[in-house]
Structures are given as C-alpha cells and as structure tokens.
Structure 1
C-alpha cells in the first residue's frame, strides 16, 4: 500500500470548525462496470474509510484504536483535507443482482501542496524531514498520495490501472509536478526485507537534490547488505508489487526506512518527479501538460 506514516495532530479541524465543500463528481475513467472519480459527499468518504478498515485492520496487521473498533472505519483528521479518489463498481453482486448502491472497491487519498500549506503540512512529514526539499523546490507543486487499498476480489490489473488513471488525471488537472508518499513492506522487522531494502538503498536512492531523510529518532538504516552481495533479480522479486510498479515508472526512495507499529509495516519514502517519469506511460495516460481525463489505458504503473 502507499500510505504516508505518522502525522501531527490537526486541532483546528475539530469541533465542526472545518466544513468540507464538495463539488459535483468528476469521473476520471471507466472500465466496464468500474469507474474512478472523486468522492462527492461525506457518506462516500465513510465508505472509503470502511474499505480501508477492512483491508488494513481485518486483513493486514494494523492495530485499531478504540474509536476505530467502534466505528469499523480507518479515519484521521487528515481525511478532512485530502481529496478521496474512489473506484466504484456499478455492476452486480456476481449472482445477477445489482447492488442496492454502487460499491466502493478501491481508494486513494491525495493532498495538494497548496492545501497542505493551509493546514499542518503533509502527512508524510511525520516520518520524513521534507523541509529542505520543499524549500529547495519552490517552483514545484507536490502531490501526496496515501491510504491506497483495493478490496480483495478486485485486486487485478483492471482496478489498479483505473486507480492510476485517477491519480494521473488528478495530477494533470491541478498541474502538480511531483508525487510523494510512503510505500510499505509488511511487518516491522527490517531484517526480513534486508535484500529488498538494500537494493533500494544502493540502486534507487534519490539524487541528493530530491532526497529526504527519515527523522533521526525514526530512521532505520536500509543498507543491510553490501551492494556486491545483492542479487538484482531476487531483490526485484522481493519488492511489494506497488513499490516495484513505482520504480518501473521512474520513482526514487528516500534515506532510511521507518517502522510504523500501528499499521505493522516498514515504510519507505517514495518520490516521483513528473519530469523523471518514463515517457512511454504518456501514450496510455496522456502527457502531463494537458488534461482531458481520458478513459484508462491498457497498462498502468501500479500493475
């Protein structure tokens, strides 16, 4: 999953003082009975939160707090400022009966820098020191991705490429230049991922002008094996599919991993400058300097 890590609190969002304004739904792509679009009302965000709870807490190793246990939703204060991309199934239940209401089967939440600057910054800043990077790139617009998940029966190429279509279309629509977030390895023992983490450290570390570092008190060294001892093919096989997909597009990683005990993961910072993205993907999803929300292509980097 692509999920930013720990964050600071947003006290000024509480008490009903923050009112989310929803625009009419904008559909970014369709494949069959599935479509990807932005959430248009609070009830749709709640459905995305229920999906996240099902995946992160019931299927994976996240540890719910008392509120999450009661609500059966994965939620935090940042949900109020992020936009929420939804993959929605308008089909049937597999037995020929149409859903009473369309089902939310995949989600991503996205946060633009101009919005983050109005509140408490990016969620990822709780794990990584992004201040030097943001200060050194004042002409770039950053887009944070997080809380990505897909319902198990829908984890296939079609759904994943549709999610990517939504992210890419949103990025182009708002003129963003860089995608950031944290991608996760399952489990909290970095040594269990020594090969993959060492490969990332030696072969995919961001150039210095794009590099961020985990906060000192959270920093876990990814250099667990010498470069000459790494079997590249085995390392690629050991990478989670999502991270492998981002690397295929042209992404880099930051300096150091971070253990997220709540979610039971080992996180790495992922950064994707649009100018570095492999241009062959533009043939499927459109170039970054124009926006017309095309239907999803046949191959996406999340594959």
Structure 2
C-alpha cells in the first residue's frame, strides 16, 4: 500500500533534501516549492518533521483505515527502510500556531530512481513488475510516489493542488521523466470494487510501451464484471479521490491488482510519463510554480 487519501522500524537519519541539478534555473529545494493561501509546500528539513509526517501516516493508515502491518509500526509512526532514502513532501498550514512541524497537514513520499537503487529497488516492486518497466526505458528517470495522506479537515481541492504544485517543481528540478506508484482501494476483496476496477481495466490501461503487470503469485484480475454492465459515472464516483486525481492528470493503470494484507487494501499500479500529462495541467501547475522554479 503506497497511498491513501480517503474521502482524500527503526529511527533513521534524515535524508538529504537539498539535491543538485543542472541548468541555469534549478530551484533550491530547501525553499518552499509552492504556496496556495495559508498552505505552503516544501520538503522535510529535519527529523522532527519526518517523524511528525510518519505520525500522520500512522493515524490515517492504522487508526482510520485499519492497517495492521507490524513491520511498518514504530512507536505510533508508520516507518520503513525506504524513509531515510526518500524526500518527504509536506504541506504546512501557516495559520496554525506552535512548533513548525506541528503545522504539517499532509505528506507525500518521493523516491527517486537513484535512491531506489541504493535501497535495492523500489517499494512497489514487491507488488508490480516495476523493474522490468524501468529496464525497458533506460534513458528515462523514474520517480515513485507513495504514502500520500492528508488530515481529514484538509481533504480539499486546494490541498491537492498545493501538493501537485510542489510535485511539479520537484519534477522539473530533478528532470524526472516518469512518475509511478501504487494507489489503493480500501479493503482486501477486489470484488467490492468490481465496477471501478473493471472500468479502469478497460478504459485506463497503459499503452504497450508503458505496460506493467502485478507480480506472479499476487496477481488478481481487474475485469470483474461484463463491460456492458459498467456505468462509467458510478464507476468513477466509486474510485478513491487519489485515483481520480491521477486519472485527471493523464495517468494510466497497469495490468492486475494486488491485495496488501498489511494495509488492508487492494492496490493498482499507476504510470504517468511526464510528457503525457495533460497540457492544461502542465500549464496550470507549471504557471503556478514559476515563482518556485528559479
């Protein structure tokens, strides 16, 4: 389970967030990556911020959504071996008072390809054949998105737009070509989401050159009902907000779904080549992010 935005191990040293980039206008990633009203988006700068983001993840994944994976639980935080190698994109509500890390209201975990290599692979390759996809595109730079969550009172379009503004600045900084990652449906029975999964399998599949399949032994089909019985409007309405958000920016879905018993979810795989993101979204997020891209 990578992401959860519902309707919306051991302590490790903080990973570097400054980064380096080529080009005359590479942003300084210690600075804010975006801002909408009182919401500011930037990368975590210290361990206190990562710890609090992990607390938020725990509250949402375990307390709210019923995850039970012991290997990810540590002192009321959702943490694993990938966290020290990731950049943690955070949304702050600057209208709140108190310590800065306590103003975090949303988070996204970003794992670049070079960092995944240091970890022995991407997080989601235990569920989907991601390494085969990467190997077919050696000239492309991949970014894995995961662990997306937002506090209930901030599950709004504005927060989603702030997150995407930050992601877009990050993509430009690191010259990312392809975004990938899991997105999750609640529960462990794909049949519960038969209409939505069937719709995705028929209408939102990746093209052949970007195809990726659930790993053998964990594969579950997504075509769970006759296509003529699927009502597109109700199928889309039944999808988690994060999945609908990905589809809006032009994401495509891999073949098959996977049951994640630790997080009590049904996972699908999302592929987003940056060049195929809808022009209106590039214009919107690129335009909004210009103040943070220089």
Structure 1-normalised TM-score?
A: 0.85
Give the corresponding residue for 2:127.
127
8 Å contact from structure 1 (residues 46, 73) kept in 2: yes
Q: Which secondary structure does the structure 2 equivalent of 1:118 belong to?
A: helix
Number of aligned residues: 278
- Structure 1: gaps spanning 5 or more residues: 93-97, 295-303
- What is the Cα deviation at residue 207 of structure 1? 1.0
1:91 and 1:99 in contact (8 A); partners too: no
Instruction: Give deviations 1:221-243, integer Å, cap 9, x for gaps.
Output: 10111222221112111111111
Which residue is 1:84 aligned to?
A: 88
The reply on whether 1:26 has 2:22 as its aligned counterpart is no
Describe the SS at the equivalent of 1:63. coil
CA distance in 2, matches of 1:30, 1:135: 36
Contact 2:67/2:264 (CA < 8 Å) preserved in 1?
Answer: yes
Q: Structure 1 71/142 Cα, relative in aligned 2: closer, same or farther at 3 Å?
A: same
Residue 188 of structure 2 corresponds to which residue in structure 1? 188
| 1:166 matched residue in structure 2 | 166
**Alignment pair present for 1:117 and 2:122:** no
SS of 1:55's equivalent?
helix
Show CA shifts across 1:110-159 (max 9, x none).
Answer: 01112212331111111011232111111111110000000111111111
The Cα RMSD (Å) is 2.4
* Counterpart contact for 2:206–2:254, Cα < 8 Å: yes
Moved >3 Å (runs of 4+): 18-24
Whether 1:65 and 2:64 are equivalent positions in the alignment is no
Distance 1:237 1:67 in 2: 31
Change (3 A) 1:198 1:19: closer
Is the CA contact (8 Å cut-off) linking 1:133 and 1:210 kept in structure 2?
yes
Paired residue for 2:55? 50
Indicate which of 39, 52, 55 corresponds to 2:44. 39
Aligned 1:172-211 pairs, distance under 5 A: 172-211=172-211
Q: Deviations over 1:259-289 (max 9, x none)?
A: 01111110000001111111011221117xx
